[in-house]
Amino acid sequence: MKSVDAADYTIAVIGAGAMGQGIAQVAAQGGIKTLLFDAKPGGADAGREQIIKRIERLVEKERIGADDAKAASDRLGSVSDISALAGCDAVIEAVFENLEVKSDVFKQVEAVVSKDCIIASNTSSIPISSIASACEKRDRVAGMHFFNPVPLMKLVEVIRGADTSDETVAALTELGKRMTRVPVTVADMPGFLVNMGGRAFSSEAFRIMHEGVATPAEIDAIMRDCRHFRMGPFELGDLTGIDVNFPASLIIYNGYMQDPRIKTAPVHEAMFNSGRWGRKTSGGWYDYKDGKVHNPPSPDYETDASPAGHVSLAEPSEALTDFCKSLGIEVREEDDGEAPILAAPVGDDATHTSLMTDADPKRLVCVDLSCDTSKRICIMTAPGADPAARGAVAAAMIKAGRKVTAIKDSPGFVAQRMVAMIANLGCYMAEVNLATPADIDLAMKLGLNYPLGPLEMVEDLGSENTLEILERAQELTGEDRYRPSMWLRRRAILDLPIHTPA
C-alpha cells in the first residue's frame, strides 16, 4: 500500500449525494487528489459543482483563504466511468444503504483497481464483513463511517471487518487524519460505535415517558439544564427523524440478540406508525411551524403555595443541608409533623425512600442532587403525597431563582436513570471490545455532542452510585434492561478507575 502521506495519494468517492459530497470536500481540502463518481449520468459533475460552491462560500465567510479554496477545487475531479478509478490508492463508497447495491459496487471497484487499493464503505448500519464477502481480497476492505454534515462533524469511525488487515486499519486511520477528521477504530458490530452508544439516551427517555414519569418537555429540560446536553432526547429524535431512528433502534436491538438494555419503548413505535416523524412532517414529539417548535409545552412546575420556611430531613445529609441553606430554607433536626420532609435518594424512588427512612410519604419530597441544580431542580413525590408539601418546597426553590420540574415517582429520578443507562452501555461497549474506553468517550462526544463520554459519566456520577442506581432500578422494576455490565461492576467493587483496561 502506498503511504497516505504521499503527495500524489489519490482517492475516489463513489456516490455524489450529500454524504459523498461531504467526504470528497474534506478530502480535497485536506490536500488529497479526489475523484467523484456517481452511477447517475451527470451526477458526479453536479456533485462537484455543489462542493465547489460550498468551498467558495467558506471564502466569503472568511473561514478559508482564496488560494486554499482554489487549490482544493483543483484537486477535486469528477469521472463518469468507474474504470477511471483504476489509479486510485483508496476508494470510499457512499451509496444507498442496501447490501446488494453495495456488494455490486465493491465487485465493480475490485475489478478495476490495483491489488493494493483500499476499498472502504461509509455504511452506517450494514456489517462490513457482509459487504466484504462479495470481494476476493477482503483484507483491504473496511468501513470508514463519516457523520452528516461531514465538513462539520469531525469524527470518522474506522471499522475493522473480520478479515481487515492491520495495515488497512492503520492506513485508513492516517487517511482520516489527513482529511482533518478524528478517527477511532471500531469493531464490526451492529450500529458500530456511535449509533449503538446513542441507544440509551433515546430509549431510556422513551421508557420514562411511557411509564408516565415525565413528559418529553420535562425530560428534555432536565437533560439540558441539569446534565448539560445540547438537546434533549425528544428534540434530537425529532431532528433526526422518527422514520430514521425507530428502524435503526430495531436493527441494533435485533443485531445484539434483543438485549433488553437497548430495547426501545412502545410509544416510539406508535409515533413511527402514526407518521409523526418530527420536523420533516411538522409534528413528532413536538409540533412544528416554519421549522420551529410551535406552542411548546412548559417543563416548569408552577405553584401559588407559600415557600417553605423550614423542613426536616428523612435522614442526615450534609449535602442536602447545604442545599437547603442555599435556598434559604431552615433545616430542623426534629420532624414537627407538619413541615415537608426532604430526601436526596440515589437510585431509589420516593415510595421506597419513605419506607427505608420511616418518613411520612405524604410530606416527603425527594430532590435530585446528583446533577447541576443551579438552573433547574427535579423533585418527585410518592403516590398519595400531599400537594401542599410539594408546592411549598417548589415555591422556595422558585423564590431562590431556580426552575422546578416535578415528576412522578421513579427509581433514580430522570437524570440518574438516563446517565446510568448511558454510562452502563458505554461500559458494555468497552467490555465487548467494540472500541477502547478512551475512543468510546471521544466518539460519543464528537459524534453526538455529549457533554461527557459514557465512561466519563461514571467518573462524574461515581462508579458506586452508578452501580447502585442500576441495581435498584433492576430490583424495583424487575427488568433486565437495568442489569449492570461486568465492566462497571468489577471496577466499582474493586474501587478502580472506570477506564482501567481488562
d(CA 247, CA 243): 7
Please say whether the beta carbons of 262 and 253 come within 8 A: yes
Q: What phi and psi, each to the nearest 5 degrees, are found at residue 246?
A: -70, -50
| Radius of gyration for the chain, computed over Cα atoms and rounded to the nearest angstrom | 26
SS3 182: strand
CA 184/CA 197 separation, integer angstroms? 14
Task: Taking residues 74-96, report their average pLDDT.
Answer: 97
> Do residues 33 and 11 lie in contact, with contact meaning Cβ atoms separated by under 8 Å?
yes
- Per the domain annotation, does 38 fall within a domain? yes
3-state helix, strand, coil in the chain (%, to 5): 45, 15, 40
Query: Is residue 298, in this structure, part of any structural domain at all?
Result: no
148 in the same domain as 215: no
Report the alpha-carbon distance of residue 417 to residue 470 in Å, rounded.
8
Write out pLDDT tens, residues 361-406.
999 999 999 999 999 999 999 999 999 999 999 999 999 999 999 9
Range 341-348 average pLDDT: 98
Write down which residue in 188, 208, 243 finishes a domain: 188
Which cell goes with 388? Answer: 401542599
- Among 115, 171, 117, 180, residue whose Cα is nearest residue 146: 180
The SS3 assignment for 223 reads helix
Same domain, residue pair 95 and 82: yes
Place of cell 417548589: 394
In a domain, 297, yes or no: no
317 and 250 in a single domain? The answer is no
pLDDT of residue 379: 98
The residues, ordered by sequence, that sit 6+ positions from 118 with a Cβ below 8 Å of its Cβ are 1, 89, 90, 91, 140, 141, 142, 168, 171, 172, 175
Together in a domain, 49 and 182: yes
What integer pLDDT is reported at residue 393 of this predicted model?
A: 98
Cα distances (Å, whole numbers) of residue 18 to 91, 120, 426: 17, 17, 30
Domain end point (choices 168, 188, 208): 188
Cβ density class 460-476: b for 16+ within 10 Å, e for less: bbebebbbbbbbbbbeb
Residues whose CB falls within 8 Å of the CB of residue 373, separated by 6 or more in sequence, listed in order: 226, 323, 367, 402
Average pLDDT for the chain: 97
The per-residue pLDDT for 73 is: 97
What's the CATH code of the domain at 426? 1.10.1040.50
- Give buried/exposed letters for 316-339 (b at 16+ CB in 10 A, else e): ebeebeebbeebebebeeebeeeb
What's the mean pLDDT in 145-168? 97
Q: Is residue 207 part of a domain?
A: yes
What CATH number did the domain enclosing 51 receive? 3.40.50.720
Residue 490: domain span? 191-292+414-502
The strand order across the sheet containing 376-380 reads 330-332, 310-313, 341-343, 364-367, 376-380, 403-407
Whole-number pLDDT of residue 5? 95
Identity of the residue numbered 423:
A
Show which of 407, 436, 460 is a domain's final residue.
Answer: 407
40 with 184, same domain: the answer is yes
56 with 140, same domain: the answer is yes
Q: Is residue 249 part of a domain?
A: yes
Residue 224 shares a structural domain with residue 277: yes
Amino acid, single-letter form, for residue 433: N
Q: What is the pLDDT of residues 186-242, one digit of tens each?
A: 999 999 999 999 999 999 999 999 999 999 999 999 999 999 999 999 999 999 999
Nearest CA-CA partner of 332 in 310, 354, 361, 314: 310
- In Å, the largest CA–CA distance within the chain is 86
Q: Which residues on adjacent β-strands are paired with residue 311?
A: 331
Band of residue 125 on the pLDDT scale cut at 50, 70, 90: confident
The number of residues in the chain equals: 502
154 and 202, same domain (yes or no): no
Q: Is residue 86 predicted with pLDDT exceeding 90?
A: yes
Domain identity same for 91 and 160: yes
pLDDT of residue 284: 98
- Catalytic amino acids? 124, 145, 157, 195
**120: helix, strand or coil:** strand
Sign of the CA dihedral running 165, 170, 173, 178:
negative
Structural domain total, the chain: 3
Q: Which residues of 176-203 are buried (b: 16+ CB within 10 A; e: fewer)?
A: bebbebbbbbbbbbbbbbbbbbbbbbbb
Same domain membership, residue 184 and residue 64? yes
Whether the link from the prior residue into 149 is cis, omega within 30° of 0, is yes
Q: Which DSSP string do the residues of 96-111 spell out, in sequence order?
A: -S-HHHHHHHHHHHHH
Report pTM: 0.95
Closest CA to 340 of 325, 329, 348, 351: 329
In a domain, 302, yes or no: no
Same domain, 54 and 165: yes
d(CA 118, CA 138): 10
- Using 50, 70 and 90 to split pLDDT, how confident is the model at 474? very high
Report yes or no on 23 lying in a domain: yes
Span 56-63, mean pLDDT?
Answer: 96
d(CA 397, CA 131): 57
Mean pLDDT of 80-97: 97
Q: What is the mean pLDDT of residues 27-43?
A: 97
pLDDT of residue 253: 96
Tell me the CB-side half-sphere exposure of residue 192, using CA atoms within 13 A: 31
Residue 304 lies in a domain: no
- The predicted pLDDT at position 344 comes to 98
Report how far residue 215's alpha carbon sits from residue 234's, in angstroms, rounded to the nearest whole number. Answer: 10
Asked if 46 and 181 sit in the same domain, the reply is yes
